[in-house]
């Protein structure tokens, strides 16, 4: 129900992000828990903070990086995640 409070992001944006995260998850051969916790972290963040469509992918990447550092033995690097995002963001 938190998506009703988001002014600039809708369910379509969320589902597109999750599809993209599933592809990344598959490409890096990550554990299933990493994907589940990443989606959970995204949902929790969005239930508190208003984000724009431009920030959806960034929030997804940040969640994946945070969770992967906790769950994975060899998490993807920040450089890899920036490259996968099409260099839409910088490491800073």
Is 5 among the domain residues? Answer: no
**If you ran DSSP here, which 8-state letter would residue 76 be given?**
P
CATH of the domain at 60: 1.10.472.10
Is 17 among the domain residues? Answer: yes
Cβ count near 13 (within 10 Å): 18
φ/ψ (deg, to 5) at 54: -70, -25
Is 92 among the domain residues? Answer: no
Q: Count the domains in the chain.
A: 1
Q: Record the pTM.
A: 0.88
**What's the pLDDT band for 73 if we cut at 50, 70, 90?**
very high
State the Cα–Cα distance between residues 53 and 79, nearest whole angstrom. 22
Dig out the tokens for 66 from the structure: 């945070």
- What would the pLDDT profile of 33-72 be if each residue is shown by its tens digit? 999 999 999 999 999 999 998 899 999 999 999 999 999 9
Is 4 among the domain residues? Answer: no
What domain range includes position 58? 10-84
Is 90 among the domain residues? Answer: no
Is 1 among the domain residues? Answer: no
């Amino acid at each position: 129900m938190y998506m009703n409070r988001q002014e600039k992001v809708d369910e379509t944006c969320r589902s597109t992000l999750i599809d993209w995260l599933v592809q990344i998850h598959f490409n890096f051969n990550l554990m299933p828990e990493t994907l589940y916790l990443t989606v959970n972290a995204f949902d929790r963040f969005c239930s508190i903070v208003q984000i724009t469509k431009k920030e959806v992918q960034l929030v997804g990447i940040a969640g994946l990086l945070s969770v992967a550092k906790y769950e994975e033995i060899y998490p993807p690097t920040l450089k890899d995640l920036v490259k996968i995002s099409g260099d839409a963001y910088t490491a800073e």
